[in-house]
Amino acid sequence: MKITSIPQIYRHVNRWREILAVLSKYELAAWIGRLGPDFAKDLLKARGGAAIARHSWETRIRLAMAELGPTFIKLGQVLSIRPDLVGVVLADELRHLQTDVPADPAKVVRSTVEAELGRPVDELFDEFDDRAMASASIGQVHRAKLPSGEPVVVKVQHAEIERKIEVDLDILAGLAQLAERIPEFQNYRPRAIVSEFRRALRRELDFGREERNMQQFARDFQDDPTVHIPSTYPHLCTGSVLTMELIEGITLFETERLEAAGIDRREIARRGANVCLEMIFANGFYHADPHPGNLLVMDDHVIGLLDYGMVGRIDEQLHEQIGEMLLAVGNQDAEHLTAIIMRVGAVPAGLDRSALSIDVADFVAHYGGQPLDRFDLSGALNEMTEMIRRYNIMLPARIAMLLKALITLEGTSRLLSPQFSLVEAMAPYRTKMLWRRLSPGRQLRKIRRLYAEMGHLVEVLPRGIVEILEQVQSGKFDVHLDHRGLEPSVNRLVLGMLASALFLGSALMLSRGVSPTFNVPFLGMKNISALGAAGAVVSIALGLRLWRAINKSGRLDRRK
């Protein structure tokens, strides 16, 4: 595929130029870091002034994404939850991506709010602070007060952010097409990543979805006084403006303030973990980014949750798969765990199952016997993810998100209390999951679903068989074969036959001296057929080109 065949090149030339300039700078820095003299490593710097060449490959990727702007920062944040695609080291590095986007001017923000809500800002709010509390890649947040006196937070999308993101998404699709042609990037499945990212980013652009998420969490915890979900104000919410209750407290990052306030950090770690585990294993609808900045301690030790843009759902099938995995690890059944991994993930055609089984057995032997109070959950999940990636098995996005949420949750809990064990806190939920998996009600639902599917099959199967027999009798039954990757082989075969025929024909003309002829006196050669010589040169050139193509593909004398 030629680069000129990508239509995005022509639609967004200026943005392409910016992206390629940044990528070229970081690639040059990488080359200097490997080969250049020491003084040259400080020549190329990132936006913050750091010397690019002195950083690791993973850090350079993070710096490049930060420099490329909001869309690429969001891409990095999405990839940070997919260590099965990019590896644990790069995923950990991308978690440090921070969005540093200048806030829109007050006039632009007010104009957006008024256009979305249909009334002047001074009529909608008794007070509206024009200074942004925070500004992220998608939007910015302002304090305000309703006419009734309630303090609120207003989240407003940046002006024209949707158009800018669409341009970058279009360019990312073009880059993915190019990356698919590079062997080093094929295992990362660039086009699948971009498709997943496009869906995730479009969901995040819709503030209405975040509002519905908050309402769902509020219903799930309406009877739990230890958890507080901010209220929303639907008449002040649209797809680009979100108005919610202002909640204040101490974030879990501020461990010194927690100590000064006399808060039991171990108890808060336990209660925060239980809230998140209740979401995951009981409600099936969970906050997918429980890092310390999104959880805060309010008055009376109430846990408050912030930022509902990234959420995950667990259906009955995923619950069953999680239960099977926990059971397999607990029983140290490596063969069962291998079968679950192959059933859950997208398995490549040439998977070495025996090697995978050996690695899974080592994994189970190491982690299956660890006591709960000292179990390293993050290490276990990271090691399993790295093992799955090594065998090019692609996990579904919902499972990758769940693994990331559990790793983040353990990190948050350990920040508050280094001795806290998330696996120990999960033990009661594990028992509940196993009982629910074996419950009569669940078995009855499975039988009912199986009965419905069998009923549908019995209904359509006879008619399908009759249609096939009718086509066979009438001579209209066709079998269509889809060949993949045969075109290059056929082209090479034809080119080889053409080169061979041309060489044989040229050799005959040279041996018989077919006119017109010429002499090469200084070599002692006489009556050389001009057509034969030309044909021989062309056939040799074709043969060399064919040999180079086969050798470049890696299939001349190597086995897959």
Reported as a single tens digit per residue, the pLDDT across 250-259 is 988 888 888 8
Q: How confident is the model at residue 173 (pLDDT cuts 50, 70, 90)?
A: confident
The pLDDT value recorded for residue 487 is 66
Please give the Cα distance from 408 to 286 (Å, whole number).
13
Please give the Cα distance from 165 to 387 (Å, whole number).
34
Query: Average of pLDDT values for 196-213?
Result: 86
Please give the Cα distance from 246 to 236 (Å, whole number).
14
Phi, psi of 305, deg, nearest 5: -115, 140
Quick: pLDDT tens for 536-555. 888 888 888 888 877 776 55
Q: Distances in Å between the alpha carbon of 376 and those of 273, 279, 382, 420, 558?
A: 16, 22, 10, 11, 42
Query: Average of pLDDT values for 399-415?
Result: 84
pLDDT at 372 > cutoff 80: no
Sheet holding 295-297, edge to edge: 227-228, 303-305, 295-297, 250-251
